[in-house]
């Protein structure tokens, strides 16, 4: 909601002055001054009327307060991080997310969701700040961290290219559970697919789910395909990594390739292309459409491992078995 002239009180001016003391550019931030407060109550007095102010959050014996504000509806998001240093609350970071990097955020004193929280994901001595906002069919998720010595938003190797904002289910331990709405039937119905992410020192990348790895053999993946009804398919080449697999071989029309997701230590045929063609037409190009949680970089790697094109995965529709598995198990990879 836009500010009206009638409500621009001195407290609002104070807020704007405090924000102006730290420079921020497009999801990255650099402190140029350090506004400080004597207590969390003083922070709330300044920000609480129009900002979302968390309670005091503990992390390894330190105390933190997070402050967030969505200025104009869905017009981006401002996040401030305060750390208790001695007897003063010091503003150590002020990050601005652009409009296309966040969803809906609660302003004011409504602290009804964990929109701003602390986690330990990057191995930094200080906490990582998790930012979560909501959309119609999208759970926006970002991480702000000082890993490396400077506060910044951390990238994810997600979908078609690295980004600081992804769709995610949440955090489990040191992992982020990313998700993607396939919109195979409708975006409201999903289904969702999932991938586990870990921090590799510079960005979040897909990783093996924290469960027993499924065996990766052409015989096993062929049996999965045949149990889904493709009795004339034989996969002769497979490559598996990070809870995903691609298998290639022969079918009734010649070339056949499938992509598989590990769910509860078993492979599920997620999508399959047995048309004999690697360039099956689809309604969207890969740049405008990407249906599964497996990032494009991993798709390319796995397809290269079996000597096929990533177009197979992009063009292949979600299998009926995968959708039924989603309804029964949620397609959650553990």
- Render pLDDT for 293-324 as a digit per residue (tens, 0 to 9): 888 899 999 999 999 888 766 667 777 777 77
Q: Residue 264's Cα: distance from chain center in Å?
A: 21
Residue 94's pLDDT is: 95
More confident residue, 232 or 108: 232
* pLDDT classification of 255: cutoffs 50, 70, 90: confident
- Which of 16-25, 95-104, 191-200 is predicted least confidently? 16-25
Q: Which two tokens stand for residue 263?
A: 């769910």
Q: Which two tokens stand for residue 132?
A: 């979560």
Is 210 inside any structural domain?
no
Mean pLDDT of 270-288: 63
Q: What is the distance between the alpha carbons of residues 170 and 179, in angstroms, rounded to a whole number? A: 9
Question: Mean pLDDT, the chain, as a whole number?
Answer: 83
The listed range with the strongest mean pLDDT (58-67, 250-259, 310-319) is 58-67
Domain that holds residue 310: 218-329
Mean pLDDT of 93-116: 83
Residue 136's pLDDT is: 79
Is 135 inside any structural domain?
no
Question: Domains in the chain: how many in total?
Answer: 2
The phi, psi pair for 218, rounded to 5°, reads -65, -35
More confident residue, 261 or 7: 261
Residue 6's pLDDT is: 29
Is 39 inside any structural domain?
yes
* pLDDT classification of 11: cutoffs 50, 70, 90: very low
Is 199 inside any structural domain?
no
- Which of 5-9, 107-111, 182-186 is predicted least confidently? 5-9
DSSP class of 7: G
Residue 308's pLDDT is: 87
Residue 260's pLDDT is: 92
Mean pLDDT of 192-216: 93
Q: Is the pLDDT assigned to residue 72 strictly greater than 70?
A: no
DSSP class of 151: -
Is 172 inside any structural domain?
no
Q: What is the distance between the alpha carbons of residues 329 and 261, in angstroms, rounded to a whole number? A: 13
Is 187 inside any structural domain?
no
Q: What percent of the chain has pLDDT over 70?
A: 81
Domain final residue pick, 88, 116, 144: 116
For residue 31, the tally of other CB atoms under 10 A from its CB is 18
Is 102 inside any structural domain?
yes
Domain final residue pick, 116, 137, 156: 116
Is 290 inside any structural domain?
yes
Mean pLDDT of 173-190: 84
3-state secondary structure of 159: coil
Residue 279's pLDDT is: 57
Domain final residue pick, 116, 136, 167: 116
For residue 220, the tally of other CB atoms under 10 A from its CB is 18
Q: What percent of the chain has pLDDT over 90?
A: 50
More confident residue, 223 or 8: 223
Q: What is the distance between the alpha carbons of residues 192 and 331, in angstroms, rounded to a whole number? A: 7
Residue 192's pLDDT is: 83
Mean pLDDT of 251-261: 88
* pLDDT classification of 141: cutoffs 50, 70, 90: very high
* pLDDT classification of 110: cutoffs 50, 70, 90: low
Mean pLDDT of 123-141: 93
Of 207, 269, 212, 265, give the one whose Cα is nearest residue 238.
269
């Amino acid at each position: 909601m836009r500010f009206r002239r009638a409500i621009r009180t001195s407290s609002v001016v104070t807020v704007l002055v405090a924000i102006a003391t730290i420079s921020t550019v497009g999801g990255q931030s650099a402190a140029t001054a350090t506004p400080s407060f004597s207590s969390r109550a003083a922070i709330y007095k300044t920000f609480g009327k129009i900002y979302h102010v968390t309670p005091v959050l503990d992390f390894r014996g330190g105390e933190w307060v997070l402050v967030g504000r969505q200025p104009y509806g869905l017009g981006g998001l401002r996040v401030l991080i305060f750390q208790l240093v001695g007897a003063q609350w010091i503003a150590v970071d002020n990050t601005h997310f652009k409009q296309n990097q966040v969803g809906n955020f609660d302003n004011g004193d409504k602290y009804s969701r964990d929109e701003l929280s602390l986690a330990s994901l990057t191995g930094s001595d200080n906490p990582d700040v998790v930012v979560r906002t909501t959309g119609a069919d999208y759970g926006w998720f970002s991480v702000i961290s000082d890993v490396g010595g400077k506060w910044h938003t951390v990238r994810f190797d997600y979908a078609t290219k690295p980004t600081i904002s992804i769709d995610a289910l949440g955090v489990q331990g040191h992992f982020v559970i990313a998700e993607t709405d396939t919109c195979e039937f409708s975006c409201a119905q999903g289904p969702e697919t999932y991938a586990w992410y870990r921090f590799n020192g510079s960005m979040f990348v897909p990783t093996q789910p924290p469960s027993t790895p499924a065996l990766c053999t052409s015989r096993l993946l062929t049996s999965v395909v045949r149990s889904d009804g493709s009795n004339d398919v034989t996969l002769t080449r497979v490559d598996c990594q990070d809870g995903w697999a691609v298998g290639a071989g022969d079918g009734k029309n010649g070339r056949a390739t499938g992509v598989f997701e590990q769910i509860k230590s078993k492979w599920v045929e997620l999508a399959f292309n047995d048309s004999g063609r690697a360039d099956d037409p689809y309604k969207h190009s890969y740049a405008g459409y990407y249906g599964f949680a497996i990032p494009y970089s991993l798709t390319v790697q796995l397809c290269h491992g079996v000597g096929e094109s990533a177009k197979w995965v992009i063009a292949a529709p979600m299998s009926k078995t995968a959708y039924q598995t989603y309804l029964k198990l949620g397609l959650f990879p553990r």
